[in-house]
Structure 1
Amino acid sequence: MSTHPKTLVLGATGGIGYAITNSLLARQWPVTILVRTRSKAAALFADNPLLTIAEGDAQDAAKVDSLAGSADFIVHAINYPYHQWFGRMESVTRHVIEAAKPRPDRTIAGRTLPGPATVVFPGNVYNFGNTNQPIRPDSRPAPCTRKGQLRVELEAMLEQAADAGQCRVLTVRLPDFWGPNVLNEGIRPVFLGALTGKPMPWLLNADIPHQSVYTPDAGEVIVRLMEQQWTQRLTSPGDVAAYRVWNYGGTTLSSMRDWFSQITQLTGKPSSVRVYPRWLFSVLGLVNPVMREVKEMLYLYENTILLDDRATLAALPDFRPTPMDQALRDTLRWFAETQLN
């Protein structure tokens, strides 16, 4: 009988959730995804007998709870546009914690595993503000924005729930990310510009180092950490930490301008960068609620913020990140096949 754990993924049609789901399925783990639009998910994922697509809203607590009934892991990769964070992110996190609580129907290989499900939470660097020191897994939060404070509060909710035995938590903090199906307004125009010869946009400063991660690598790191914990639960359940934080920083690019040039060398199109100034977001924020929220995050583009991921890489000695050239080619191919009309 298979000993693969069952996983519920929330946010599977987003960039990180998509990558995690693909890594899980590549390991033959059964996965259920909760999506608002079934057709969108069906277009993203190939037919797979191990994948169950459920349609619904993660704000529906009863729906999340019913799908998580036999789940060993719940991936909380839900994200909303910035202006919808407040209220929604807190409530969906509460639903996930509630769904992870211990119940008798979580079984594997014909036996019940004690304890709650593990919540897998992709974090970010917002908790630590404009720091010039590498962020360690145990660094103290020092947010300088409202959204940073909210991320601190979400992680605190998860840690308190883990300490109370309501769930286990694997938080994996990531920097900016890019790759197939990353369709935010910071990344999508870059790859479409590279494919069409249009200027590739960036914010404030394209000439300083910037840490960024390729989503399939992030998904692989997260799933390897899940795999390690699962093995430990089967063999030494008493040694499994209730709450654990990991960092994965991906690649520290010498500058975005150099990276953009590397991308256009693969497309054969002109390399052109359009850097948007700070004042523009003040103007756009008058009429656009997302741009209003972006304004407080601009420090991330004026400074180099770094995650210290040495502990993660030491724990995963066989992990090898995708070579940059291959990662860029695969991402360009995905955008060319799915985003160009």
Structure 2
Amino acid sequence: MMGTALVLGATGGVGGAVTRAMLARGWHVTALVRDPSRAAITWGARVAPDWQAGDAMSRADVVRAAEGTSVIVHAVNPPGYRNWDRLVLPMLDNTLAAARNAGARIVLPGTIYNYDPTLAAVIDETTPQQPRGRKGAIRVEMEKRLAGAAPEVRSLIVWAGDFFGPGAGQSWFAQALAKPPLTRILNPGTPGVGHAWAYLPDLAETILRLLELPPDRLMPCERPQFPGHYDADGGGMAAAIRRASGHPNLPERRFPWPLMRVLAPFGGFPREVMEVRPLWAHAMRLDGGRLMDLLGDVPCTPLDAAVITALRT
């Protein structure tokens, strides 16, 4: 059964991946963006969503765009990932108001920032959320608001590890490990420490399969974990990049965490990355049991094939 959806954040990584997956399945997708003309040029593909001008910070814009839809994908972030404390929760409240008005289910891509990796090496839907940073605390509050709105407003939160793949330009993969031009690997990981990765096309396919289940199969606030690719020793992704690039001797350097720690008190990029430092210093794996129960199998492109595609996009 095909559906109708509003996507907030369609020009971003996970929002774009879900939009492309929906369009490929015949869904009608409306994408709310500030500049439809620019979005259409950037999108480029022949099959595109219905671009609609508006702002996720405007409740009237979101409510209007969501009319007649069955799903609202909330994959929007503040411009430049700034002002999270002032913008993120109001944007979610606007989406909640729109979902109530339209009778739509909200889809929220979840992150592992909600968790303290020193306390939980494997997370599932029962793991207590004890974030160590400001963004994680805001993510926890977002999920609390979705849970509190159920069952009046249904929601689907799919947690995943660090993104990589087409459209994931603002990611550790694209900005550090495989930053073009690819002359070296800058690895933020810790040798011997595992890390969870999510290939965006697989994550999007998983979300679509969940949405296409009979409605009574999902709980009013469903919260499965997408296991993705687990790099058990912290070196698997770097090795895959070397294989995919055809450069087996590509040099590798460690991310300058000590420098970031010194500069963090001054704010900016160093402060932001130090918030997620524990997620690179301690292993954390996502349990996929609930997804297996719901879907039977979870989409998982072989790592080398996924990295080849990621390097080309």
Same fold (TM over 0.5): yes
Question: Aligned ranges for residues 1-341 of structure 1 at < 5 Å?
Answer: 4-38=2-36, 39-48=38-47, 51-80=49-78, 81-103=80-102, 116-130=103-117, 131-163=119-151, 165=152, 167-184=153-170, 186-190=172-176, 192-193=178-179, 196-203=181-188, 205-228=190-213, 231-232=214-215, 241-269=219-247, 270-285=249-264, 289-334=268-313
TM-score (norm 2): 0.91
Quote how far apart the aligned CAs of 1:288 are. Answer: 5.0
The gaps in structure 2 that reach 5 residues or longer are: none
Quote how far apart the aligned CAs of 1:264 are. Answer: 1.9
Q: AA paired with 1:267? A: S
The gaps in structure 1 that reach 5 residues or longer are: 104-115, 335-341
Q: AA paired with 1:65? A: V
- CA deviations over 1:213-258 (Å, ceiling 9, x no partner): 1010000111111111xx33xxx6xx76321111102011133433
Inter-partner Cα distance in structure 2 for 1:264 and 1:76? 34
Inter-partner Cα distance in structure 2 for 1:206 and 1:196? 24
TM-score (norm 1): 0.84
Contact 2:162 2:171 in 1 (8 A): no
Contact 1:35 1:41 in 2 (8 A): no
CA change 1:125–1:316 in 2 (3 A) is same
Inter-partner Cα distance in structure 2 for 1:23 and 1:40? 18
Q: AA paired with 2:194? A: P
Inter-partner Cα distance in structure 2 for 1:44 and 1:274? 34
Contact 1:257 1:273 in 2 (8 A): no
Inter-partner Cα distance in structure 2 for 1:191 and 1:141? 28
Contact 2:56 2:62 in 1 (8 A): yes
Inter-partner Cα distance in structure 2 for 1:227 and 1:152? 26
Contact 1:83 1:289 in 2 (8 A): no
Quote how far apart the aligned CAs of 1:192 are. Answer: 4.6
- CA deviations over 1:105-145 (Å, ceiling 9, x no partner): xxxxxxxxxxx210001111122212234111122222222
Query: Aligned to 1:46, what secondary structure does the other structure show?
Result: coil
Q: Using the aligned pairs only, state the percent identity.
A: 30
Quote how far apart the aligned CAs of 1:170 are. Answer: 0.7
Q: Which protein is bigger by CA-based radius of gyration?
A: 1
Q: AA paired with 1:15? A: G
Inter-partner Cα distance in structure 2 for 1:183 and 1:40? 16
Query: Aligned to 2:122, what secondary structure does the other structure show?
Result: coil
Inter-partner Cα distance in structure 2 for 1:71 and 1:91? 21
Inter-partner Cα distance in structure 2 for 1:268 and 1:240? 43
Question: How large is the Cα RMSD of the aligned pairs?
Answer: 2.2
Aligned to 1:107: none
Inter-partner Cα distance in structure 1 for 2:219 and 2:245? 46
How many residue pairs match? The answer is 309
Inter-partner Cα distance in structure 2 for 1:171 and 1:197? 34
CA change 1:280–1:140 in 2 (3 A) is same
Inter-partner Cα distance in structure 1 for 2:129 and 2:120? 13
Inter-partner Cα distance in structure 1 for 2:157 and 2:13? 17
Inter-partner Cα distance in structure 2 for 1:28 and 1:313? 25
CA change 1:96–1:272 in 2 (3 A) is same
Inter-partner Cα distance in structure 2 for 1:25 and 1:248? 22
Deviates more, 1:82-91 or 1:275-284: 275-284
